[in-house]
C-alpha cells in the first residue's frame, strides 16, 4: 500500500522522454498513399524453443491490414518464414509499389544476439538477428536468420518509400520484476536450446557483411520508423490477452491500425500518435513489465498510416463486466467448493487464468506473474473469502478500465521505474496526455479498498490541471504489500458529483461500486482514463 495511500506532495513537473519535435522532418507525402505489408509470425521452431503467440500476432496484424484495404500483403507463418522467401517477398513489394507508398514489415518470433562478426562494427560488440523457423546455431541452419545489417540494406532498398518495422522479439536481458510461476508462465521471445540462450554461431553459413551493409546499418535512414518490443536489457514475455497467447507490441500495433491510435480522429496516424498508443497500451497490458523502444526520436508530426480505420465508438463508458477466469490451487474438491463461494468468476486452467489463488499460502497472483495480494488465514473462513472477493472485484474493474482506456488513454508513468518497491521508498506518479482538464484520481488497493486522492478539499486542490500535463503525485510505500492501481480520470466537464461519491467510498473495499459510479456520472462524455499498477513486496 502506498503511504496509507495519502499524498505527500503534488507539483507540476516536466516529463523526461522522447522529444517528438526533434530531428529532421520527413515530407508528408500524398494523402492516401498505398500501404503494402510483409507479416511474419513463428511459433514452431525446428531446433529451438517454441512460442505460443507469434502466429496469433501475425494473423491479427494481417487481419487489421486487410481491414484497411491492404491488398499487397504477404503473410508467412511458421515454416513458411524461410530466409530467401522473405527477402524475395520484400523486394517484390518494392517493385510493385510506387515511391510514395508505405511498406510495413512486422516480425513476431524469437530474437537473438551474437558477438559482432566484424570487429568494431557495433557499439555494444553484438550483432542482433531475427530467428527464422529452421534456424540452427551451427552448420547450414545458421543461414536461417536475418541480421541487423541485412535488414538495414533491405530498408535502404525501399527508399524513398516510408517503412514501418515492428519487431516483437527480444535479444537478452531480464524482467523488470520477478515473475511468479504460479501464473503459468508462457515464456519469452528469446531463443534458447534446453534453456541456454542462443548467443554464438558455429560454422556460420552466412557471408560476412559487406562494407555497404555495415554503412547502411550505421547511418540514419530517414524513411524508417522502428518499434521494438523491449530494450536490449529486457525480455519480451508472451502474455494472455483476451485469453490467447500474444505479444503485447503486436497486439497494440494491430489495434492502432484499427483506429485506436488516431487520437484526433482525422483518419491519419502520426508517428507521435502511434508511439504514444503503443507505449501506453503495452504498459497497461503488461503492468509496466515491458517498455517498447522507438527509433528515431522525434518526428512526431510525420504521418505514418494514412488512411487508418475509423475508431469504433464504444457502446458505453466501461465495457460490460465479464467473468474473471480464476484458478484455485489446492485439492480439486476443495478448490471447487471454494470457487462456488465467489461471484463474477469462472473456473480456469493453468493456461487461461487471469487470477490464481494459492489457497494454502493465501497469495493471489495475476496472469502477468505479479503477486496482487497476500490474504493469510483459513481459505474457507468467511473473512478470507470476503477479502479474496475484493481482489476479484478490483481486478474486474482494472480490466474494464484498461479496455476503456484503449480509446481514451492518459499517459501515466511511475518513477524511479517499474519494479517491486519496498517499505519506505518514494514513488512518483506522472500524469499527462490529457485533453480534458478536470481531473480525478483514486487508488485501488490490493483488496479493492478505495483511496480518494484528488482533488482534496482540505488541501484546496484546484479541480483542473494543465492540458497535456504533466502533473506529479509523490507517495511513499507502506504495508500491506501487493498491488496498488492508480485510476486517473480527465474530463472536459466538472466532475463534482462523481468526486463526492468517490470520496464517500474512501477506505472501503468498494471496487464494484466504483464501476457503477463511473458509468452513472460520466456516460456520454469524452472522458480519458489512465490506470497504472504499483507493486510492493516485503521480500
The DSSP line for 253-316 is HHHIIIIIT-TT-SS-EEHHHHHHHHHHHHHHHTTTS---EEESS--TTSEEESS-PPPPPPSS
Residue 504 grid coordinates: 464517500
Each residue of 243-265: pLDDT tens digit? 899 999 999 999 999 988 888 88
Measured CA to CA, the distance from residue 515 to residue 317 in angstroms comes to 10
Q: How many residues does the chain have?
A: 539
Q: How far apart are CA 523 and CA 172, in angstroms?
A: 45
What does the pLDDT read at residue 391?
95
How many Å apart are CA 32 and CA 34, to the nearest integer?
A: 6
> pLDDT tens digits for 156-201?
999 999 999 999 998 644 545 667 778 776 778 888 776 677 778 8
* All domains of the chain in start order, with CATH: 3-10+404-536 (2.60.40), 34-305 (3.40.50.1460), 324-397 (no CATH)
Q: Residue 114 in contact with residue 199, Cβ under 8 Å?
A: yes
Of the pLDDT bands very low, low, confident and very high (cuts 50, 70, 90), residue 56 is very high
Please say whether the beta carbons of 354 and 325 come within 8 A: yes
Report whether pLDDT(19) > 50. no
Of 152 and 14, more confident: 152
Task: Answer yes or no: is pLDDT of 155 > 90.
Answer: yes
pLDDT, residue 409, reads: 82
Cell of 36: 503494402
Give whichever of 421-430, 432-441, 494-503 has the largest mean pLDDT: 494-503
Residue 301's pLDDT is: 86
- Whole-angstrom distance, CA of residue 169 vs CA of residue 53: 11
C-alpha cell at 515: 464501476
Please tell me the predicted confidence (pLDDT) of residue 177: 64
C-alpha cell at 176: 523488470
Place of cell 487489421: 64
Find the range with the poorest average confidence among 89-93, 131-135, 479-483: 479-483
**Has residue 506 got a pLDDT over 90?**
yes
Amino acid at each position: 500500500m502506498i503511504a496509507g495511500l495519502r499524498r505527500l506532495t503534488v507539483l507540476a513537473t516536466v516529463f523526461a522522454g522522447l522529444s517528438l519535435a526533434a530531428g529532421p522532418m520527413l515530407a508528408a507525402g500524398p494523402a492516401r498513399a498505398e500501404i503494402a505489408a510483409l507479416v511474419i509470425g513463428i511459433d514452431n521452431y525446428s531446433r529451438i524453443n517454441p512460442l505460443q503467440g507469434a502466429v496469433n500476432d501475425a494473423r491479427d496484424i494481417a487481419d487489421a491490414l486487410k481491414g484497411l484495404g491492404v491488398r499487397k500483403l504477404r503473410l508467412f507463418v511458421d515454416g513458411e518464414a524461410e530466409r530467401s522467401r522473405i527477402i524475395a517477398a520484400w523486394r517484390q513489394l518494392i517493385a510493385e509499389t510506387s515511391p510514395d507508398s508505405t511498406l510495413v514489415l512486422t516480425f513476431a518470433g524469437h530474437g537473438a544476439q551474437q558477438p559482432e562478426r566484424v570487429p568494431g562494427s557495433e557499439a555494444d560488440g553484438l550483432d542482433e538477428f531475427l530467428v527464422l523457423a529452421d534456424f540452427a546455431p551451427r552448420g547450414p541452419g545458421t543461414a536461417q536468420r536475418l541480421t541487423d545489417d541485412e535488414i538495414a540494406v533491405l530498408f535502404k532498398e525501399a527508399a524513398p518509400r516510408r517503412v514501418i518495422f515492428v519487431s516483437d522479439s527480444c535479444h537478452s536481458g531480464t524482467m523488470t520484476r520477478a515473475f511468479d510461476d504460479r501464473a503459468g508462465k508462457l515464456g519469452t521471445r528469446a531463443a534458447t536450446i534446453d534453456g541456454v540462450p542462443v548467443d554464438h554461431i558455429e560454422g556460420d553459413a552466412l557471408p560476412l557483411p559487406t562494407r555497404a551493409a555495415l554503412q547502411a546499418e550505421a547511418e540514419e535512414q530517414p524513411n524508417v520508423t522502428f518499434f521494438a518490443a523491449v530494450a536490449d536489457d529486457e525480455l519480451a514475455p508472451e502474455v494472455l490477452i483476451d485469453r490467447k497467447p500474444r505479444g503485447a507490441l503486436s497486439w497494440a500495433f494491430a489495434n492502432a491500425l484499427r483506429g485506436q491510435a488516431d487520437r484526433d480522429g482525422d483518419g491519419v496516424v502520426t508517428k507521435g500518435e502511434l508511439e504514444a498508443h503503443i507505449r501506453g497500451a503495452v504498459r497497461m497490458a503488461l503492468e509496466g513489465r515491458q517498455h517498447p523502444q522507438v527509433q528515431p526520436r522525434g518526428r512526431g508530426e510525420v504521418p505514418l498510416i494514412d488512411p487508418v480505420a475509423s475508431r469504433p465508438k464504444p457502446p458505453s463508458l466501461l465495457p460490460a463486466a465479464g467473468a474473471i477466469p480464476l484458478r484455485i490451487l489446492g485439492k480439486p474438491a476443495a478448490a471447487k467448493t471454494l470457487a462456488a463461494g465467489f461471484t463474477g468468476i469462472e473456473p480456469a486452467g493453468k493456461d487461461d487464468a487471469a487470477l490464481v489463488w494459492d489457497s494454502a499460502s493465501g497469495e493471489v497472483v495475476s496472469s502477468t506473474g505479479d503477486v496482487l495480494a497476500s490474504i493469510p488465514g483459513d481459505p474457507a473462513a468467511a473473512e478470507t473469502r470476503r477479502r479474496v472477493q475484493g481482489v476479484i472485484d478490483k481486478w474486474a474493474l482494472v480490466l474494464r478500465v484498461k479496455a476503456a482506456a484503449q480509446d481514451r488513454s492518459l499517459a501515466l508513468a511511475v518513477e524511479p521505474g517499474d519494479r517491486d518497491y519496498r517499505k519506505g521508498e518514494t514513488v512518483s506518479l506522472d500524469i499527462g496526455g490529457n485533453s480534458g482538464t478536470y481531473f480525478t484520481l483514486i487508488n485501488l488497493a490490493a483488496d479493492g479498498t478505495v483511496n480518494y486522492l484528488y482533488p482534496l478539499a482540505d488541501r484546496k486542490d484546484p479541480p483542473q490541471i494543465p492540458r497535456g500535463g504533466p502533473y506529479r503525485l509523490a507517495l511513499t510505500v507502506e504495508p500491506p504489500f501487493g498491488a496498488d492501481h492508480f485510476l486517473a480520470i480527465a474530463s472536459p466537464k466538472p466532475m463534482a458529483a462523481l468526486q463526492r461519491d468517490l470520496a464517500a467510498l474512501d477506505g472501503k473495499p468498494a471496487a464494484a461500486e466504483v464501476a457503477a459510479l463511473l458509468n452513472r456520472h460520466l456516460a456520454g462524455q469524452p472522458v480519458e482514463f489512465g490506470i497504472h499498477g504499483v507493486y510492493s513486496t516485503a521480500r
